[in-house]
A and B are shown apart, each in its own frame.
Chain A
């Protein structure tokens, strides 16, 4: 942290240092940005983390292989299901278990629903960062349907805890298919509302086009992933490159753009929602019958070794790295979270722009602070 004398020493004549956060409407959590301003122009941004550090990695190391999965729901709470999936996949990889086909398909369906819910929340929150309050309520109307489906099936709306190593906690609710179909129908009708209200809005385009540009080279060197990197033209969709859980059997496109500005990142996420809908439509009528759990021993003891899995969350690439000593609990757990690398590019993207541009840039990075600061 800065002490007062440090700030004065490092600040030149006419520069203003403001602390944005940890309590600030636009940081969506407890992110603390120390911003050096020259008038309204940003000279430097320094993110400070640690306000919501819960030592999730250490906690994971002291829980057994069935338990530690659910701690990760609290990392990127908007893609809680996908985080759980990454951990379960890692354990399955270590134990060399084949997941039943039915469980696999349901996992993919749930992942895509989670992705849509996350992007919907992001869309509303980002529009709110730019000063438009109304889209928030429209996106939450559709998101509500997804959380209702989740509640009915998993018993929780945000941290679902639906996945166990080897399959699913329990089978689907009988209403699941019908409700998902109703959601898909409504979403397809209402997605045009976002186009009218946000995408085609002149002010919105003026605020986001050409703002916070991240070049392809920079995106790679900062280690960006997810929609942020894809908007800069980096093909990095884990679902395409290293398909898991049968993503190679469904048809969908990896959405790419080359502009690298905030508007491109916005468009990428909107198109990704449509791709997720496409995946759901292909799978919803073709859920195979069968078991939802593979047969496993009650106590999981993976062999000695190192295991790494990666999945595509709503924000980008999530890696789970586990070192096993052959015991009941992992020896070391490390999460590679997408938000952390994406945040590191913020300073580079926002330098020289106005404070208003920072909101557009930060908004389209889609930062979830508990994901960055585990």
Chain B
């Protein structure tokens, strides 16, 4: 139902019949790039507005409600303001690295959009090592943050960047191990295979308690990896003013800001894909009628619904919890989450070998 395959195949066939193969491929690339950039901008605007509305709801206030109906165009206006603003570069900063850093962070975020399946047969790149690709590329963003902190020639930025480095490198381990549980159960690293394996039920429900533990650890780890509260030590407004992006202004700051939200979207999309079945509708075992009704809801809505639910969870954390201290943050990872994930993955392996999962 509601497959986008028809449209994409028509476009491809028309391109290949009209132009020669090399040129057609180039045009396809251009279309994909445009789509990705469009999605990037749209997601940024929607997520920032969503964050402000969620925060306002939690904090018993209204949130933006002046620009457009219900404040819908507030983020658009903010973006225009940021674009028009002067981007200051500190005098003693390392100019090259200072200018490069926001782009590194943003390019990493864009690269991560590639293997995500937004709907049935709607995926930019169904690479056979999809999960590994995501883990590998997402850890690159720490380079951009360290670069920004170092090049700013600001002590607060430096402290923030060092915290961020320690944090992302540590939590990468738990995130990776919790992702592996699903890989062990599926037996494939390919995103499309992982989604297909959840046709008769999502892994969160099929995989017994170990997968639920892995899911919880995954959510904690990705919250830390995206530098979100309660793990927002790299920014830590009340301690380090704005952490690694203290010296950034104008569009360079906007790129960091945008990249943060895109990263949230991506990790939530990965979480939804691995644990909640991606675009796969809610199927329960052999309830044919129920499954059939669920199929009528378009796959893109399933995917977006799950992803935005996880995003809402992460936003909820931010507006509820105080921030951890830097040593408590590392203790949590190395003394609790990492040993638990290691035991958990052994447990899952046993379950997978004995075939105890549903």
**Contact surface of A with B, Cβ cutoff 8 Å:** 16, 18, 24-26, 40, 127-134, 136-138, 141, 197-198, 201, 203-204, 206-207, 354-359
Contact = CB atoms under 8 A, between A and B. Distances in A.
Nearest to A138: B60
Contacts of A18: 155-156, 159
Given A18-B155, A131-B236, A137-B60, A356 B322 contact: no
A340 B250 CA distance: 40
B59 interface: yes
Nearest to A357: B325
Nearest to A358: B239
Nearest to A28: B238
Contact of A131 (B61, B159, B323, B328): B323
Contacts of B340: none
B326 interface: yes
A134 B59 contact: yes
B159 A355 contact: yes
A25 B239 CA distance: 8
A18 B229 CA distance: 24
A179 to B, nearest CB: 21
Nearest to B59: A137
Given A24-B241, A134-B58, A137-B61, A197 B327 contact: no
A25 B328 contact: no
A26 B237 CA distance: 8
B321 A203 contact: yes
If over half of B's interface residues share one DSSP class (helix, strand or loop), that class is named, otherwise mixed; here it is: loop
Contact of B320 (A40, A197, A207): A197
Contacts of B43: none
Contacts of B322: 127, 130-132, 198, 201, 203-204, 207
B233 to A, nearest CB: 8
Contact of B229 (A131, A138, A358): A131
Given A40-B326, A207-B325, A354-B326, A134 B319 contact: yes
Contacts of A127: 322
A26 B232 CA distance: 16
Contacts of A133: 55, 59, 319
Closest 4 CB pairs of A and B: A131-B323, A356-B325, A132-B322, A130-B322
Nearest to B235: A131
A348 B280 CA distance: 59
A141 B323 CA distance: 23
Nearest to B163: A40
Interface of B: 55, 58-61, 155-156, 159, 163, 229-230, 232-233, 236-241, 319-328
Nearest to A356: B325
A203 B59 contact: no
Nearest to B232: A131
Contacts of B325: 206-207, 354, 356-357
Contacts of B159: 18, 40, 355
Given A25-B238, A131-B232, A356 B58 contact: no
B60 A141 contact: yes
Contacts of B233: 356
A132 B155 contact: no
Contacts of B229: 131
Nearest to A202: B321
B238 A130 contact: yes
Nearest to B229: A131
A24 B156 CA distance: 11
A203 B230 CA distance: 9
Given A130-B323, A131-B323, A204-B322, A359 B59 contact: no
Contacts of B59: 133-134, 136-138
A132 B323 CA distance: 7
Contact of A132 (B239, B240, B321): B321
A138 to B, nearest CB: 7
Chain B CB count within 10 A is highest, among A206, A356, A359, for A356
B241 A25 contact: yes
Nearest to A353: B325
A266 to B, nearest CB: 12
Given A40-B326, A131-B322, A207-B325, 8 more contacts: A18-B159, A131-B230, A133-B55, A133-B319, A203-B323, A354-B327, A356-B233, A356-B239
Contacts of A24: 241
B52 to A, nearest CB: 12
Chain A CB count within 10 A is highest, among B237, B239, B240, B321, for B239
Contacts of A356: 233, 236, 239, 323, 325-326
15 contacts: A16-B155, A26-B239, A131-B321, A132-B320, A133-B55, A134-B58, A134-B320, A141-B60, A203-B230, A203-B323, A204-B322, A355-B239, A356-B233, A356-B326, A359-B238
